Structure 1
Amino acid sequence: MTRYFYLHGFASGPESAKAKYLRGRFQRLGFDLICPDLNEPEFSSLTFSRQIRQVEAQLTDEPTVVIGSSLGGLTAAWLAERNLQVMKVLLLAPAFEFLAQWLPRLDPLALEQWQQQGSRPFYHWRDRDFRPLHWGFVEDLQQWQDEHLKRSLPTLILHGTADEVIDFAASDRYAAQRPWVTLQPLISDHALGNVSSQIWRACRQFVNLDAGDCAES
């Protein structure tokens, strides 16, 4: 039996709007969508490597489909690269070129202080408050280079053309170098909040779920 995972984005959680929406859709069709909390055990010590290990610990030998949003999308891509039981990945505004796009948006002084002091507060959407994050997050992520993602497997990217966090061009460049990747532009921003029904239709078709009498919304 195929297993399905949803991986949330940076400073988010398994109760995000997209996670709840997709989990509800899967449940209506009789499928379980596993949504791990990638903040565990605490946000402050988060690293990309830790996210990878956390999800890999939950994989079995069963075929697996992974849906990932933003940094969760980058995580999904690397899970597929490292684990052959991952058969398909659906990436929602994936965080390709993450550091190159994210760090320049931070104030240079704040960035320098983060590195010197070792920790910096970030707004956490799950907690609706600021939470500290160690500089080790950046140092660890520097080890994970997109150009090493080379495994050929069915990959669908849905990315907003008005994304203000991860430029659509990052997904365009990624897909252009990998013929097994399909990129579908959406008229939306990074949150993709206005295209939920489009995401679900694409997901249902890509994953080959039996839609049954599931109504659209």
Structure 2
Amino acid sequence: MLLYLHGFRSSPQSFKARLVQERMRDWGVGKAYACPMLDVSPAAAIERAEAAIAGARAGGDTEIAIVGSSLGGFYARWLGERHGCRTVLLNPAIHPWTDLEKYLGDQPLWHGGGSVRVERAHLQELLDLRVEAITDPARYYLIAATGDEVLDYREMVAAYPGAHVRVIEGSDHGISEFADYVDDVLSFCGYRPAA
């Protein structure tokens, strides 16, 4: 299974999530794709991700890979360490417990309307998920854009010493040209196009 974890205020309808899903369908492995809607509560988001992993394992899937974008990348780091699986990080949040301080209160969602309420307790939940250092850099692939207008790519690179790292010159937080990298991401996760 490939578990895609979307970012803050995002959803399974995000551009990158849909691109990964479409490419996996094209490659004949679409059934292996999962992208749950993550709760604004980090603890609840992790529970939902863990439920997806447990469901895949119960269905006979022994190989798990995780792709996480932005805040989803922060969750992917924790889950990657917990499950010892290949993990791809797309402009991941490094210290979201401070980044989200300025977003306390109601925040609009990017897709489908509505909003979420960010509470101070969520910042502690993020702190509780902090991973000081990755244990096996070879299992991690970081894609970081120098033009990210939300997060600092240098902090991302520093947080993943020894990992596979691709620094994109320019671009943006959403990695607008992600179509250029999706095949590389899926290959790292162990997928190949159907023959």
TM-score by length of 2: 0.85
Map 1:75-94 onto structure 2 (within 5 A).
75-84=75-84, 87-94=85-92
Please show how residues 9-88 of structure 1 align to structure 2 within 5 Å: 9-31=7-29, 32=31, 33-39=33-39, 46-59=40-53, 60=57, 62-84=62-84, 87-88=85-86
TM-superposed CA distance for 1:102, in Å, is 4.2
Structure 2: gaps (5+ residues): none
Q: What is the rounded CA distance, in whole Å, between the counterparts of 1:212 and 1:138 in structure 2?
A: 43
TM, length-normalised to structure 1? 0.77
Q: Which runs of 5+ in 1 are unaligned?
A: 40-45, 115-119
The AA in structure 1 aligned to 2:113 is R
Query: Could you tell me how far apart the structure 1 residues matched to 2:124 and 2:189 are?
Result: 35
Q: CA deviation at 1:152?
A: 4.8
What residue number does 1:188 align with? 171
In structure 1, the partner of 2:93 is 95
Secondary structure, counterpart of 2:193 in structure 1: coil
Structure 1 distance, partners of 2:156, 2:164, is 10
Aligned-partner residue type, residue 124 of structure 2: E
Share of identical aligned residues, percent?
25
Q: Is the 8 A contact 2:138 2:164 kept in 1?
A: no
The 3-state SS of whatever aligns with 2:62 is: coil
Q: Is the 8 A contact 2:68 2:92 kept in 1?
A: yes
Find the aligned partners of 1:94 and 1:147 in 2 and give their Cα distance.
Answer: 15
What count of residue pairs does the alignment treat as equivalent? 186
Q: Is the 8 A contact 1:161 1:188 kept in 2?
A: yes
